[in-house]
């Protein structure tokens, strides 16, 4: 089956979306053409991209130019609108859909779906929309009522025209589609993120020369999601049960955002307990996950979490115990089913207790045995997820052919 992937992010652009879309392209059995951005920032050569039939890269405007500055304005639904509309025009002008049996648009950014809507209206090609995250209902965006209303309008147009809509977990699907009629909501399905077992180092738990028990968080923090509760819990343990920190190494890898004075936090703990490392390439991040004794995941303290982060699926692939600071929702259900530990991300006392329990578990378990329910580990492997993706595409194309046959 010939399929066109329309996405801003694609390897080697260093972004979670690049990783997941590249993974589908690598393991799908479809003949894939990719239209994506040609980013000027440094790429990450360790992100695999498979072997698409064609990759058409269209330049993203430089922010140092006037056109680039205009392109970065907070337009609806996001600042990528201009690039996505230009890319959609190129797809039509170059007739890149010739011989293609389906179009797949990948958000974020959601502007790519607006360009996909234009292509759908112009060609009628079977169209699969991959939302991944919520759009108008995102708790991270659209705080102004007018912006929220406009994005609901844009989202509704895409949802009405799409032939199939994909989300990465049931919670996101329910949040977005609950406001639509049942016949429209029935177009939605769940396709989870995946991990690629071939990318993890073949080790038996070697920790890169660190003799301490290693607790590691890999990934960025930002304004709504910070490590502050965990750091407060760590200092609480240092004051009340200092022996709990003996031979412990806690490392944060990636961009930090905290309301705390991180130097003061380090000074309040014994030497060597807490460290920070800047962003690393994707292959290194997987190696660091694999070499940890305990992996840490921290979600924003919303009333309910509707996101299932792709990083968590890589944690699953690493085969290490997981401690998740997360509210009820997608992450809590996943980690609980896997056999990891879950605690609310708002109470330092409870986090401290959960950390001690998780450390005891990490000390007891044999590092050579992959952690987690074996059925889940199989379910989220890249081959299995790509096979489900191919099945959804085949079903979609078959349905559209049948509709045309009946209408003829």
Question: Span 172-185, mean pLDDT?
Answer: 95
Polymer length of the chain: 408
Nearest partner of 43 among 22, 12, 17, 10, judged by Cα: 12
Flag whether pLDDT at 210 surpasses 80.
Answer: no
| pLDDT for position 61 | 58
Flag whether pLDDT at 396 surpasses 60.
Answer: yes
Least confident segment among 56-70, 199-213, 219-233: 56-70
For residues 114 and 212, the model is more confident at: 114
DSSP percent split of the chain into helix, strand, coil, nearest 5: 45, 20, 40
| pLDDT for position 93 | 94
- Give the model's confidence band at 33: pLDDT under 50 very low, under 70 low, under 90 confident, else very high: very high
- Give the model's confidence band at 207: pLDDT under 50 very low, under 70 low, under 90 confident, else very high: low
Flag whether pLDDT at 394 surpasses 70.
Answer: yes
Q: Which structure tokens are listed for 174?
A: 């329910």
Q: Which structure tokens are listed for 381?
A: 């492997």
Flag whether pLDDT at 260 surpasses 60.
Answer: yes
Whole-angstrom distance, CA of residue 272 vs CA of residue 33: 49
- Give the model's confidence band at 63: pLDDT under 50 very low, under 70 low, under 90 confident, else very high: very low
Flag whether pLDDT at 22 surpasses 90.
Answer: yes
Flag whether pLDDT at 66 surpasses 70.
Answer: no
Q: What is the pLDDT of residues 74-95, one digit of tens each?
A: 457 888 888 899 999 999 999 9
| pLDDT for position 402 | 79
| pLDDT for position 141 | 72
Task: Give the single-character DSSP code of 278.
Answer: -
Question: Span 317-346, mean pLDDT?
Answer: 95
- Give the model's confidence band at 213: pLDDT under 50 very low, under 70 low, under 90 confident, else very high: very high
- Give the model's confidence band at 400: pLDDT under 50 very low, under 70 low, under 90 confident, else very high: confident
| In the chain, where the domains are located | 2-194+382-407, 198-374
Flag whether pLDDT at 208 surpasses 60.
Answer: no
Flag whether pLDDT at 42 surpasses 60.
Answer: yes
Whole-angstrom distance, CA of residue 194 vs CA of residue 188: 19
| pLDDT for position 19 | 95
Report phi then psi at 88, rounded to 5.
-60, -40
Q: 3-class SS at 213?
A: strand
Whole-angstrom distance, CA of residue 21 vs CA of residue 14: 12
| pLDDT for position 138 | 83
Question: Span 207-221, mean pLDDT?
Answer: 83
Q: Which structure tokens are listed for 199?
A: 């990318």
Flag whether pLDDT at 180 surpasses 80.
Answer: yes
Structural fold of domain 198-374? Rossmann fold (3.40.50)
Which pTM was predicted? Answer: 0.91
Residue environment code for 231-270, b if the CB has 16+ CB neighbours within 10 A, otherwise e? bbbbbbbbeeeeeebeebbbbbbbebeeeeeeeebbeebe
Report the side by side order of strands in the sheet with 294-298.
Answer: 274-277, 248-253, 213-218, 294-298, 322-325, 341-343
| pLDDT for position 403 | 79
| pLDDT for position 381 | 97
Distance of CA 239 to the CA centre of its chain: 36
User: For domain 2-194+382-407, which CATH number applies: 3.40.50.2000, 3.30.300.10, 3.40.50.300, 3.10.290.10?
Assistant: 3.40.50.2000
> Between vectors from CA 244 to CA 241 and to CA 248, what angle results, nearest 5°?
140
| pLDDT for position 204 | 56
For residue 188, count other CB atoms closer than 10 A to its CB.
21
Q: In this structure, are strands 127-132 and 213-218 parallel, antiparallel, or unpaired? A: unpaired
User: Which residues are within 8 A (CB) of 257 and not within 5 positions of it... i.e. 6 or more apart?
Assistant: 220, 221, 222, 223, 225, 226
Flag whether pLDDT at 353 surpasses 50.
Answer: yes
């Amino acid at each position: 089956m010939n399929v066109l992937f329309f996405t801003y992010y694609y390897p080697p652009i260093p972004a979670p979306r690049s990783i997941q879309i590249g993974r589908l392209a690598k393991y799908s059995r479809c003949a894939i053409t990719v239209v994506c951005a040609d980013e000027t920032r440094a790429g990450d050569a360790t992100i695999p991209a498979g072997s698409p039939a064609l990759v058409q890269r269209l330049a993203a405007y430089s922010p140092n130019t006037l056109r680039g500055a205009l392109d970065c304005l907070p337009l609806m639904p996001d600042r990528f609108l201009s690039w996505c509309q230009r890319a959609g025009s190129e797809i039509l002008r170059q007739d890149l859909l010739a011989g293609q049996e389906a179009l797949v648009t990948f958000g974020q950014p959601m502007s790519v779906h607006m360009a996909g809507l234009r292509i759908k209206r112009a060609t009628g090609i079977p169209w699969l929309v991959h939302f991944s995250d919520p759009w108008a209902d995102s708790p991270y965006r659209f705080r102004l009522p007018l912006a929220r209303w406009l994005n609901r309008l844009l989202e509704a147009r895409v949802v009405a025209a799409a032939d199939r809509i994909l989300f990465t977990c049931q919670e996101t699907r329910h949040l977005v589609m609950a406001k639509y009629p049942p016949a429209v909501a029935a177009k939605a399905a769940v396709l989870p993120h995946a991990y690629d077992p071939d990318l993890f180092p073949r080790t038996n738990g070697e920790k890169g020369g660190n003799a301490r028990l290693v607790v590691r968080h890999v990934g960025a923090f930002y304004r709504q999601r910070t490590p502050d509760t965990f750091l407060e819990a760590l200092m609480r343990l240092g004051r009340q049960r200092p022996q709990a920190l003996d031979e412990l190494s806690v490392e944060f890898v990636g961009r930090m955002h905290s309301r705390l004075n991180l130097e003061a936090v380090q000074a309040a703990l014994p030497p060597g307990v807490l460290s920070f490392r800047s962003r690393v390439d994707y292959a290194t991040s997987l190696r660091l996950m694999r070499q940890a004794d305990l992996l840490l995941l921290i979600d924003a303290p919303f009333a309910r979490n509707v996101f299932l982060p792709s990083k968590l699926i890589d944690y699953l692939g690493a085969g290490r115990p997981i401690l998740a600071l997360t509210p009820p929702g997608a992450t809590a259900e996943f980690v609980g089913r896997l056999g990891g530990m879950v605690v609310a991300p708002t109470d330092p006392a409870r986090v401290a207790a959960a950390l001690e329990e998780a450390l005891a578990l990490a000390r007891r378990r044999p590092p050579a045995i992959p952690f987690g329910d074996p059925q889940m580990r199989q379910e989220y492997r890249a081959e299995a997820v790509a096979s489900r993706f191919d099945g959804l595409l085949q079903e979609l194309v078959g349905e559209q052919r049948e509709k045309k046959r009946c209408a003829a």
